[in-house]
Amino acid sequence: MRIAVLLKDRCRSKNCARECIKFCPRVRAGDETIIMGDNGRPIISEDLCVGCGICVHKCPFEAIKIIGLAEELETDLIHQFGRNGFRLFRLPIPKKGTCMGILGPNGIGKTTAIKILSGQIKPNLGEYYEDPSWNDVLEYFAGTELHNHFKTIVDGSLSSVVKPQYVDKLPRITKGKIGEILKKADGHNNFDKIVDKLDLRNILDKHIEKGTISGGELQLVSIAAALLKDVDMYFFDEPSSYLDIHQRLKVAKTIKELSETKKVMVIEHDLAVLDFLCDNVHLVYGDEGAYGVVTYPRGVRHAINTYLSGYLKEENIRFGEKIEFFAHPPKQRQDMSILITYNDLKKSYPEFNLEVQKGLIRKGEIIGIVGPNAIGKTTFVKMLAGEIEPTEGKIEHDIKISYKPQYISPEYTGTVRDFLEINAPQIFTTSFFKAEIFEPFNLKHLLDKPLDTLSGGELQRVAIANCLIQEADIYLLDEPSAYLDSEQRMITSRTVRRIIEKSGKSSMIVDHDVYFIDMISDALIVFDGKPGKDGLAQGPFSLHEGMNRFLKDVDITFRRDEDTKRPRVNKPDSYMDRKQRSEGEYYYSNM
């Protein structure tokens, strides 16, 4: 089966006068392979397209894709968004008493799948030109596990709730005090229980629309509102975004408890959280904006290992690059020259105090920074960047710093191309930057988009690239994994590491994804204290010592997967958990 897809946001047909048509061999045969739609954009005739690929290579905007799909997917088309539009093949299967995970890149239909399963979208089974009846849908799924699910949607007996992906939009549609909002959502008198589990007492009197709560607090409020509903099925779309590792584990434990009696589905990019939370996982592969295929469920360990391998053995499909973890020996820090030194630092605010123990940063190393939210990590990074002055102490350096902030505000209204030409023109002219930054971050498809229309993940990629392209001695990246899918996080970690190793520069990374920190860091600075009141920064420590200190504070243990060497959270009170705790090894007992 072959599908031809026109990515309409890239098409500039009005400017190129339909040049793409002239190169098609079917035109010479008298066939109209490409016609103009009502909106002035081309429409590709998939019946006539022979898949020669000439138009794909000739289009200067890379707006055309021709994709060959496996034959067995001809009968598995669940939904299609218009002619030449995005296609979703197969659906995840909800099961009571099981927390079902969904894992895959951005833009390949994961959110569409849960909208269909929750009844927000009626599947058209590929008949995009008409509205199929629910009888057609039920007939299609007859004899499958999904038949009864859709039957409950049709007869109105299925109740469900979806925790949305983009929680930063909540203040636009919801007004009032957080406590009052959550009480209205409470369907089974669990208000106090959920508020205490998610540690929300101190923000109940805040107004959600006044901009006084953080992204992490918005995420927790959104999760709490979903948990308080008394429904049959719960969908959580990226519940770990904005949360620190402490909060992620609290949320994971609460959702896991819920899944013992309810149907629960979770879309998640943090592989450590997914591994800890879910029993089975559906992988989703495909081509961004073109099509997505939901695979059959696998056990969580097997699913994540398959995802990292990039290869579906049962279906003989290569869907991505292989991602490898290494138990690499730590760098000998004492052999590296010093870049920055700082004495004991203090920064005081009316309601928050930060203390930083003296330390130093060496050339050529990447230092991870870990700790809870609201503990002073970003304040420390801003002091190093020179954006704020310490109340006490001194940072001794005369160097150039490039800084990517935690929250990225796309105030620039021009295109990505214009933004990069102004701020980072080297990305177009230097072969090193083209190969090491432009291509890995797949920026070519974003160049003609206005910066203020980019999704969170797209904006993050542009911001990281802009930071790394600057001439600097140290690169400070605050939460670079936010909004990125699992594959993009791994690509980012490899890209940053290559840039640092090849340039001999240094970097500091603030992040909450343990996989990301494990892959990218040579050493760690660990933050502790009382969030929102006082923070203490210690280190840099070696990666092993720093992670051991951090995980002990979080109260979890990690081991390495035997096959992939990736970090895995030990189940609480399991044999390995008890063994590592008794040895005082919270981070890999085999190190």
Whether 273 is covered by a domain: the verdict is no
Q: Are residues 585 and 465 in the same domain?
A: no
Put residue 126 in one of left, alpha, beta given phi > 0 → left and psi -120 to 50 → alpha. left
pLDDT of 28: 62
- Cis peptide bond prior to 540, omega within 30° of 0: yes
pLDDT of 588: 75
Distance CA 137, CA 160 (A): 19
Distance CA 203, CA 18 (A): 56
Percent of the chain with pLDDT over 90: 44
Please answer whether residues 378 and 403 qualify as being in contact, where contact means their C-beta atoms are separated by less than 8 angstroms.
no
Mean pLDDT (whole number) for 155-167: 89
Q: Lowest-confidence range among 40-44, 141-145, 207-211? A: 40-44
Whether 64 is covered by a domain: the verdict is yes
Please answer whether residues 279 and 98 qualify as being in contact, where contact means their C-beta atoms are separated by less than 8 angstroms.
yes
Does pLDDT of 278 surpass 90?
A: yes
Range of the domain at 17: 2-68
Whether 193 is covered by a domain: the verdict is no
203: amino acid identity, one letter? I
User: Six-digit token pair at 299?
Assistant: 């056990």
Mean pLDDT (whole number) for 445-463: 87
Residue by residue, DSSP assigns 461-526 as HHHHHHHHHS--SEEEEESTTTT--HHHHHHHHHHHHHHHHHHT-EEEEE---HHHHHHH-SEEEE
Q: Are residues 503 and 590 in the same domain?
A: no
Mean pLDDT (whole number) for 454-468: 90
Q: Are residues 492 and 586 in the same domain?
A: no
User: Six-digit token pair at 515?
Assistant: 């996989």
Output phi, psi for 385, to 5 deg.
-75, -10
Percent of the chain with pLDDT over 70: 87
Residue predicted with more confidence, 487 or 13: 487
Per-residue pLDDT tens digits for 66-99: 766 554 466 789 999 887 788 999 999 999 999 9
Whether 74 is covered by a domain: the verdict is no
Q: Are residues 534 and 559 in the same domain?
A: no
Q: Are residues 524 and 581 in the same domain?
A: no
- Cis peptide bond prior to 410, omega within 30° of 0: no
pLDDT of 591: 43
Q: Are residues 395 and 535 in the same domain?
A: yes
Asked which of 68, 98, 120 is the last residue of a domain, the reply is: 68
Whether 174 is covered by a domain: the verdict is no
Please answer whether residues 162 and 237 qualify as being in contact, where contact means their C-beta atoms are separated by less than 8 angstroms.
yes
Whether 313 is covered by a domain: the verdict is no
pLDDT of 5: 61
CA 70, 76, 81, 83 torsion-angle sign: positive
pLDDT of 467: 93
State the first-to-last Cα distance of the chain, in angstroms, to the nearest integer: 49
pLDDT of 227: 95
Q: Are residues 7 and 64 in the same domain?
A: yes
SS3 state of residue 21: helix
67: amino acid identity, one letter? I
Please answer whether residues 300 and 280 qualify as being in contact, where contact means their C-beta atoms are separated by less than 8 angstroms.
yes
Q: Are residues 447 and 572 in the same domain?
A: no
Per-residue pLDDT tens digits for 563-574: 888 888 888 889
Q: Are residues 406 and 356 in the same domain?
A: yes
Q: Are residues 342 and 490 in the same domain?
A: yes
Per-residue pLDDT tens digits for 368-415: 999 988 899 888 888 888 888 999 998 877 788 898 887 676 677 788
Q: What's the number of domains the chain is made of?
A: 3
Q: Are residues 455 and 405 in the same domain?
A: yes
Nearest to 243 by CA among 554, 548, 540: 554
* Domain at 345, CATH number: 3.40.50.300
Per-residue pLDDT tens digits for 305-355: 999 988 888 877 888 778 877 665 555 555 678 888 888 999 999 889 999
Question: Which CA distances in Å does 40 have to 12, 26, 360?
Answer: 10, 21, 59
Does pLDDT of 356 surpass 80?
A: yes
Q: Are residues 379 and 492 in the same domain?
A: yes
Question: Which CA distances in Å does 64 have to 7, 109, 495?
Answer: 6, 19, 28
Residue predicted with more confidence, 521 or 28: 521
Mean of the per-residue pLDDT values of the chain: 85
Does pLDDT of 33 surpass 70?
A: no
Per-residue pLDDT tens digits for 475-521: 999 889 988 988 899 899 999 999 998 888 999 999 999 889 988 99
* Domain at 30, CATH number: 3.30.70.20
Whether 33 is covered by a domain: the verdict is yes
Q: Is 145 exposed, middle or buried (0-12, 13-18, 19+ CB in 10 A)?
A: exposed
SS3 state of residue 99: strand
Strands 99-103 and 558-560: unpaired
pLDDT of 329: 53
Per-residue pLDDT tens digits for 69-78: 554 466 789 9
CA 54, 57, 59, 65 torsion-angle sign: positive
Per-residue pLDDT tens digits for 107-142: 889 999 999 999 999 999 988 888 888 999 999 999
Please answer whether residues 165 and 235 qualify as being in contact, where contact means their C-beta atoms are separated by less than 8 angstroms.
no
Other Cβ atoms less than 10 A from the Cβ of 257: the count is 14
User: Six-digit token pair at 437?
Assistant: 């930054």
Distance CA 384, CA 376 (A): 13
SS3 state of residue 147: helix
Asked which of 68, 93, 123 is the last residue of a domain, the reply is: 68
Say which residues have a Cβ less than 8 Å from residue 57's Cβ, sequence separation at least 6: none
Whether 173 is covered by a domain: the verdict is no
E runs forming strands in 233-375: 233-237, 263-267, 280-287, 291-294, 298-299, 311-312, 317-318, 338-342, 345-348, 353-356, 359-362, 366-370
Say which residues have a Cβ less than 8 Å from residue 286's Cβ, sequence separation at least 6: 104, 105, 108, 109, 292, 293, 319
pLDDT of 539: 87
User: Six-digit token pair at 213?
Assistant: 């709560």
